[in-house]
Amino acid sequence: MKWSNIIIGVILLIFSAFYYYSTSEFPPPSKTENLGPAFFPTLLAATLAFLAILLIVNSIIFRGASGKDKDGAVIQGAERLEEDSFGAEEISYTFLFGTICLSFLYVGLISILGFLISTPLFLIILIRLLGYEKWTNNLAASIGLTAALYLLFATALGVSLPAGIFFS
């Protein structure tokens, strides 16, 4: 039994209950709306609660199977792989601080340059920080993701995105 997974699951379950309670005051859907403003927060809270319960149950059921699969066969290096994946010595501080600085720069520039210019620039630089070298793939991914986000939020959901100095 992994106590850390059980503790994290309980914390996430408490957080999801608090999140659901804090959004329960949202108004119900109007006659013109199908879902209403409370739908998405309720969906997030329910999903988080489900995943937290799944984590707790999985930790309890497979408590004797650390290092073994369901049939009892030994999984070689499974515990070591888990320790190596999240070790502090594996953190790339260049990427961490670069991402933090880049995120602050993005937040500052999105109101000036607008969503359609600052988001692809942010994504291109972030993908380069991750170590992907191909510019054509980076451009295609960043422009495609920006277009998808714009279509989702501005067109489908009607959210007003910052236009910036070039599109106002």
**What's the pLDDT score for residue 63?**
65
Give dist(CA 17, CA 9) in Å, integer. 12
pLDDT in tens, 31-54: 776 777 778 888 899 999 999 999
Indicate whether 121 and 139 sit together in one domain: yes
pLDDT level of residue 122 (50, 70, 90 thresholds): very high
pLDDT in tens, 50-109: 999 998 998 888 765 554 444 444 455 444 444 444 544 566 777 888 889 999 999 999
Q: How many domains does the chain have?
A: 2
Question: Which of 88, 103, 127 is the C-terminal boundary of a domain?
Answer: 88
**What's the pLDDT score for residue 64?**
54
Question: Which of 88, 115, 130 is the C-terminal boundary of a domain?
Answer: 88
Indicate whether 118 and 148 sit together in one domain: yes
pLDDT in tens, 145-156: 999 999 988 888
Indicate whether 54 and 28 sit together in one domain: yes
- In the block, residue with structure tokens 């790339």: 92
Return the structure tokens found at 149: 């986000």
Q: Which SS3 state, helix, strand or coil, does residue 68 take? A: strand
Specify which of 99-108, 128-137, 154-163 reaches the highest per-range mean pLDDT: 99-108
Q: What would the mean pLDDT of 119-146 be, rounded to a whole number?
A: 90
pLDDT in tens, 5-31: 888 889 999 999 998 888 888 877 777
The CA distances from residue 97 to 57, 102, 119, 140, in Å, are: 36, 8, 19, 25
Residue 65 lies in domain: 3-88
Q: Share the mean pLDDT of the chain.
A: 80
What is the pTM assigned to this prediction?
Answer: 0.51
pLDDT higher than 50, residue 118: yes
